[in-house]
Amino acid sequence: MKKVVSFSLLSLALFASEVVASSHFHSGFYVGAQGGYSHFWGRMKDYFDDGHNVNNSITRTSSLKKKSGVIGEILVGGRYVFHNGFTLGGDVSFGYSGQRLSSRLLHRDVILFGDTVKRTYVVTPGITMGKIFSSKLHSFIKLGLGISRFKNKLEDLPIPIAGRVSPYLSFRSPSTHFGFSPTLGLEYAWTQRISLLGSMNYEYYKKLRKNYVNPLVPPPVSFYTSTTRASFLNIKVGVLFKL
C-alpha cells in the first residue's frame, strides 16, 4: 500500500510539474528579436614587401585592436519540451554589427598603408539545449556556427614626398568566414506566448587573411598581406514570441 501511495504521489508530482512547465513553455516554433552591446577585438598583422630584396624591403607590424558597438538580430527556431523539463531545438539568427578595426603600416618613412577590417552581418544557425527550472524560467545553451561577412580595405594613403603627394590607391575585398559561436541564455516567460530573453554570446574566427598586389607597380611587384584573428563578445536582451 505504501508503494502504491508513493508511486501515486510521485506520478502526481511529475504530472503537476508537467502542467506547470507546459503552461508557459510548450513544444513548437518561435520568432524573436534581440539587441545590445558588442565588443570586437583582434590581433592585426600587416606585412609589406616592396619586392627589391634589399635591406628594409620588408616591413611587419602586429597590434591588438578593440572596438565596441551595438548589435541587433532577429531569430527564428523551434524546440521540443520533454516531460522532465529539458528542452531540445534549434534556431537561426540574423544579426548586424558595424564595428571595424584599423591599423597602420609605415614603410621606409615613405609609404603609409591603412588596413581596415569591418564585419557587416552574421548568420548563426545552431542547436539549443535547455532546462525549465520553474513555471516561468528557462535557461539554455546554444552551440552555433557563426557565418560572418567581412569587408577588408587596404589604402595606400597619400603622404608628402619632397613637396609632392604620392598617389592614393584603395583595394577592397569582401569575404565570408566561419567560426565557433556558443551562447548562454535565460528566458523568462512573461505570458504564455511572450518571453523576455537575455543572452551572452562569444564568436571566434580563426584567421582572416588577404593578399594584395599593386597593379600599377612594374616588376619587381610589391605585395601586402593582412591577417586578423577576430573575436566578438555580445550581450543582448530581447523578446521571444512563441507560436
In tens, the pLDDT along 178-198 reads 999 999 999 999 999 999 999
pLDDT for res 160: 57
pLDDT for res 154: 83
| Closest among 236, 241, 203 to 34, alpha carbons compared | 236
How many domains does one find in the chain?
1
Whole-number Å distance between alpha carbons of 168 and 219:
20
pLDDT for res 168: 63
CA-based angle 152:50:114, to the nearest 5?
A: 30
pLDDT tens across the length of the chain (243 residues): 444 345 444 443 444 444 444 468 999 999 999 999 999 999 988 888 776 666 666 787 888 899 999 999 999 999 999 988 899 999 999 999 888 998 888 777 666 788 899 999 999 999 999 999 888 999 999 999 999 999 988 887 766 554 545 556 677 888 899 999 999 999 999 999 999 999 999 999 988 888 877 655 555 667 788 889 899 999 999 999 999
pLDDT for res 98: 84
pLDDT for res 8: 43
CATH number of the domain at 139, please.
2.40.160.20
In tens, the pLDDT along 198-243 reads 999 999 998 888 887 765 555 566 778 888 989 999 999 999 999 9
Q: Is the CB of residue 138 less than 8 Å from the CB of residue 131?
A: yes
pLDDT for res 238: 97
pTM above 0.85, yes or no: no
pLDDT for res 172: 82
pLDDT for res 17: 46
Q: Which domain holds residue 71?
A: 2-242
Q: At which residue does the C-alpha cell 534549434 appear?
A: 90
Q: Is the CB of residue 24 less than 8 Å from the CB of residue 240?
A: no
Whole-number Å distance between alpha carbons of 180 and 16:
39
Q: In a 10 Å sphere around its CB, with 0-12 CB exposed, 13-18 middle and 19+ buried, how is residue 44 labelled? A: buried
Grid coordinates of 214: 599593386
Grid coordinates of 193: 506566448
Whole-number Å distance between alpha carbons of 182 and 231:
12
